[in-house]
Chains A and B, each alone.
Chain A
Amino acid sequence: MKGLSARRKATNRLMLAFMGLAVLLALVPLGSILVEVVIKGAGAIHGLSFFTQPPPGDATATGGGLANAIIGTLIMVAMATVVFVPLGILGAVYLSEFASNNRLARAVRFFSEVMTGIPSIMVGVFAYSILVILFIHHFSALAGAFALGLIMWPIVLRTAEEMLGRVPASVREASLALGTPKWRTVLKVVLPSAAAGLTTGSMLAIARAAGETAPLLFTALGKEYISFKITQPMSALPLEIFSGAQSPYPEQIQRAWAAALTLIALVLALTLVARFVTARRSV
C-alpha cells in the first residue's frame, strides 16, 4: 500500500514538474527572441536617419536606413485595411444580424476558419495569378496589398462576428421596440456598442498582415529606394529582414535586426493594445 502510494506521488510530482518545465520551454524562446531583437536591433539603429533614409546602395556600407521598407509596410497595410476591414465587418454584420444560422452563414463561418489556415505563400501565388498575370503585368504594391488584405479578411470576419455576438439581444430589442428599422438599429446601436471589439479584431488582423513576408515575395517584390507609386514594386519590413537574414554581409544582417525591432514593436504594440481594449471591455 505504501509503495503504491509513493509511486503515485512520484508520478504526480514528475508530471506536474513536466508541465512547469513545458511552460519554461515555451517562454525561453519568446524571451530570447525579444531580448536579441531589442539588443541587436537597437544597436543597429543609429539615430533618426534610420527612419528617414533608404539603405545605402552598397550592401557592405553602413549608415542609411530603412525608410523605404517602413513606408512600404505602412502604405500596403493601409491599403489592405481600407478595403478588407470594412469588407470583413460587412460580412460579419450579415452573419450575426441577418443570416442567423442559414446554410450560407454556416458555410462562410466554416470556410473563413479554413481560409485562415491556408499557407500564406499560396495567398501570394493567388495575388500574383490575378494582379500580376491578369491586370498589371508586373510586380506592384497593389498586388502586395491585395495579398495582405486576403490574409486579414477572414480574421476580421471571424473576430467581428464574435464581437457583434457579444452585444446583448436586449439592446437590439430595445431599439426595435422603439420602431427603429433593422438597418438603423444595426448602424446606430449594434455597431457602436461593438466598436471596441471590432477595433480589436481589426488590429489583430493588421498586426498579422504587417508581419507577413511570403505573400509579398512575388507581389510587392521589394525596392531599394523610397517609392510611393502603388503600381510599382515596393519594399516592406519583412522583405528587408528576409533578404538581410540570407545576406553574407554583417552590415545587412545588422539592418535586418533593426528592421526586426521596428516590425516587432509595430506588431506587438498593435497586439497588446488590441488585447487591452477587449480585456477592459469583457472583464
Chain B
Amino acid sequence: MLGASALLLALALMVVRFLQLSWPIWKAHGLGWVLGSTWAPANGVFGALPFVIGTVATSVIALVIGTPVALGTALFVSEIAPARIRRPIANLIDLLAAVPSVIYGLWGIIVVLPLLRPIEQFLADSLGKAIPIFAGPIGNGSGYFAAGFVLAIMIVPTISAVTREVFVTVPQDVREAAYALGATRWETIRYGVLPPARAGIVGAVILGLGRALGETIAVLLLIGQIPAVGKSIFASGYSMASVIANEFGQSQEPLHLQALIAIGLVLFAVTVFMNVAARLLVGKAKT
C-alpha cells in the first residue's frame, strides 16, 4: 500500500515544490508575464510568450504531419495488412518510440536539416509571398518547422499504438456487415471502424500532443534557440521545455530561475491536463 501511495505523494510533492519555488515571480508579476513577448533575463524582463508560441507552433506542426501518418499506419496494421506481417510492422513502428530523444536530435541536426533546408526554401519561395507564415528567411534550416518535423516522427508511434488498440476493440461483426453490404475496404473503415473509434482517436492524438509539448532535447537541438516570437514557421525560436533545459543550469539569478520553474509549472499543468483528458477519452473508447 505504501509502494502505491508513495507515487501519489511524489506527484503531490512535485506540484508543491514547483509552486513553492516559482511563487515569488507569480507574486511579483501576476499571471500576465506568461504572455509578455520580451525575454531579457539580464535586464530582469521576463515574458514567456516566445516559448509558449514555440511550444504551440512545433506541436501543431508535429500533429499536422504526424497524425495522418500515425492513423495510416494503425489502419494498415489493424485492417489491411496480412496477418503474418501485422506483428512485425507494429513492432517496428513501436521501435520508433524506443529511440532516445537525444538521438533524434543528433540525427535531426546532421541528417535531416540538410535535407529539409531545400524543401523549406522551396516552400518559402512558392508560398511565402502569398502566405506570410511561410515566408523566409530559412537560414541553416533550423526553426519551428524543423523541430516540428522531427517531433512528428517521434509522436507517430504514440498515436499509432493507441489507435491500433482502439481499432482492435471495434467488433468484427461491424466489418463483416459492411462487406456483406458490398462496401469496399475503405468504406468499411470509413463508415464501420472509424466512427466508433472516434473518441479513442481524439484521445490518442491528445496523448501525442502531450508528448510533443513536453519533448525537450530534440526540440532544443532543432528549434534554433532564439528567445523571440518568430514571424513564420521557418523562423528560429525556443520552446518552453527547451528554454528550461538550456538556461536553468547556467542561471544564478533567483528571479530567472523562478521564471524558468514557473514556465515549467505551466507546461507541467498543461501536459497533466492533456494526459488526464486523453486517458479518459481512450478509456471510454475501449469499453
Contact flag A121-B244 (CB < 8 Å), given A19-B80, A221-B249, A263-B103: yes
Decide if A9 is an interface residue (CB 8 Å cutoff).
yes
Which stretch, B36-44, B85-93, B169-177, touches the partner chain A?
Answer: B85-93
* Chain A residues whose C-beta falls within 8 Å of the C-beta of B100 in the assembled complex: 210-213, 238, 263-264, 267
Contact flag A120-B214 (CB < 8 Å), given A87-B6, A213-B102: yes
Contact B106 A25 (CB under 8 A): no
What 0/1 pattern do residues 52 to 93 of B give for CB contact below 8 A with A?
Answer: 000000000000000011111101110110000000010111
Contact flag A93-B3 (CB < 8 Å), given A119-B268, A213-B100, A263-B103: yes
Instruction: Enumerate the 8 nearest inter-chain pairs by beta-carbon distance, A residue then B residue, closest first.
Output: A22-B72, A211-B100, A119-B214, A90-B3, A91-B3, A117-B275, A12-B184, A91-B4
Contact B1 A107 (CB under 8 A): no
* Chain A residues whose C-beta falls within 8 Å of the C-beta of B244 in the assembled complex: 121-122, 125
Q: Which residue of A lies closest to B188 (CB)?
A: A12
Smallest Cβ distance from A204 to chain B, in angstroms? 8
Q: Which residue of A lies closest to B225 (CB)?
A: A246
How many of chain A's residues touch chain B, expressed as a range?
Answer: 35 or more
Known: A23-B72, A122-B267. 17 other contacts (CB 8 A): A15-B186, A19-B73, A20-B76, A26-B153, A30-B92, A30-B95, A33-B99, A33-B103, A91-B6, A91-B7, A108-B7, A117-B214, A119-B268, A121-B241, A128-B248, A217-B245, A267-B99
Contact A23 B73 (CB under 8 A): yes
Q: Which residue of A lies closest to B71 (CB)?
A: A22
What 0/1 pattern do residues 226 to 249 of B give for CB contact below 8 A with A?
Answer: 000000000000000100110011
Q: Which of B169-212 contact A (CB under 8 A)?
A: 184-187, 189-190, 207, 210-211
Instruction: Please measure, in the bound complex, the distance between the C-alpha atom of A99 and the C-alpha atom of B1, giving whole angstroms.
Output: 8
Q: Which residue of A lies closest to B221 (CB)?
A: A245
* Chain A residues whose C-beta falls within 8 Å of the C-beta of B185 in the assembled complex: 12, 16
Contact B214 A118 (CB under 8 A): yes
The DSSP consensus for interface residues of chain B is helix
A11, A129, A150, A221: which has the most chain B beta carbons within 10 Å? Answer: A129
Contact B187 A119 (CB under 8 A): no
Contact flag A110-B279 (CB < 8 Å), given A30-B95, A125-B248, A242-B217: yes
The 14 sampled A-B contact pairs (Cβ below 8 Å) are: A25-B72, A29-B153, A33-B99, A90-B3, A94-B1, A99-B4, A108-B4, A111-B7, A117-B275, A118-B14, A119-B268, A126-B13, A214-B101, A267-B99
Contact B267 A150 (CB under 8 A): no
Q: Which residue of A lies closest to B89 (CB)?
A: A23
How many of chain B's residues touch chain A, expressed as a range?
Answer: 35 or more
Chain A residues with CB under 8 Å of chain B are 8-9, 11-12, 15-16, 18-23, 25-27, 29-30, 32-33, 36-37, 87-95, 98-99, 104-105, 107-108, 110-115, 117-122, 125-126, 128-130, 133, 150, 153-154, 157, 207-208, 210-214, 217-218, 221, 238, 241-242, 244-246, 253, 256-257, 260, 263-264, 267-268, 271, 275
Contact B275 A27 (CB under 8 A): no
Q: Which residue of A lies closest to B98 (CB)?
A: A271
A105, A111, A121, A246: which has the most chain B beta carbons within 10 Å? Answer: A121
* Chain B residues whose C-beta falls within 8 Å of the C-beta of A217 in the assembled complex: 245, 248-249
Decide if B261 is an interface residue (CB 8 Å cutoff).
yes
Chain B residues with CB under 8 Å of chain A are 1-8, 10-11, 13-14, 17-18, 21, 68-73, 75-77, 79-80, 89, 91-93, 95-96, 98-107, 109-111, 153, 156-157, 160, 184-187, 189-190, 207, 210-211, 213-217, 221, 241, 244-245, 248-249, 261, 264, 267-268, 271-272, 274-276, 278-279
Contact flag A87-B3 (CB < 8 Å), given A26-B69, A37-B103: yes
Contact B76 A8 (CB under 8 A): no
* Chain B residues whose C-beta falls within 8 Å of the C-beta of A157 in the assembled complex: 4, 7
* Chain A residues whose C-beta falls within 8 Å of the C-beta of B245 in the assembled complex: 121, 214, 217
Contact A241 B103 (CB under 8 A): yes
Contact B4 A94 (CB under 8 A): yes
Contact B217 A154 (CB under 8 A): no
* Chain B residues whose C-beta falls within 8 Å of the C-beta of A33 in the assembled complex: 99, 103-104, 107
B1, B95, B279: the one within 8 Å of A268 (CB): B95
Instruction: Please measure, in the bound complex, the distance between the C-alpha atom of A26 and the C-alpha atom of B70, giving whole angstroms.
Output: 8
Instruction: Please measure, in the bound complex, the distance between the C-alpha atom of A133 and the C-alpha atom of B22, giving whole angstroms.
Output: 14
* Chain A residues whose C-beta falls within 8 Å of the C-beta of B6 in the assembled complex: 87, 91
A8, A87, A153, A214: the one within 8 Å of B217 (CB): A214
Contact B18 A121 (CB under 8 A): no
Contact B214 A22 (CB under 8 A): no
